[in-house]
Structure formats: structure tokens, C-alpha cells
Amino acid sequence: MKSFLDEKVALVYDRVNKWGGAERVLLALHEMFPNAPLYTAVYDQNRAPWAKVFPQVIPTFLQKFPLAPLAYSYGF
């Protein structure tokens, strides 16, 4: 019988551009599923260096808009 740990898992988070309580939970989930990629609307590598622990951080097309990682937190 397969364990749930044998299943493919992806983590999804709305924006990776700050540090706070939800990000701590996301890192705890990463410890449980270290091979899981992280899907997000926008990703700011400079403001979220903690996200480098994920094997992949995959942003959406919103990432291509100028200042999207910054503006997204203000209701973009």
C-alpha cells in the first residue's frame, strides 16, 4: 500500500514577496514535502530569499508585468 508521502505534491501560495506567519507554515510544509515545487502568482527573489529552499518556484504570467511582485501585495 502506498503512503501519502509517495504521492506527487505541489505547494501553491498566492505571492512569495515577504516574510510572515503564513510563510513559516509554507516552510513547514516544505519540510514535510521537500521535493514539492512551489507555484505562486508572483515571486520576488530579493524580498523572499527564504524561498530558495524549494526545488522549483514557478510563478504565473503575472510575474512578467513590470513591478508585479511589488504591486501584487497592494491589490494589483
In a domain, 2, yes or no: no
In a domain, 21, yes or no: yes
In a domain, 1, yes or no: no
Cβ neighbours around 44 below 10 Å, total: 21
The number of domains in the chain is 1
In a domain, 22, yes or no: yes
Nearest residue to 37 via CA among 8, 61, 15: 8
Nearest residue to 32 via CA among 7, 60, 1, 56: 7
In a domain, 3, yes or no: no
Instruction: Report pLDDT digits (tens) over 7-64.
Output: 889 999 988 888 889 999 999 999 999 999 999 998 988 889 999 999 999 999 888 8
- Note down the domain range covering 60: 8-74
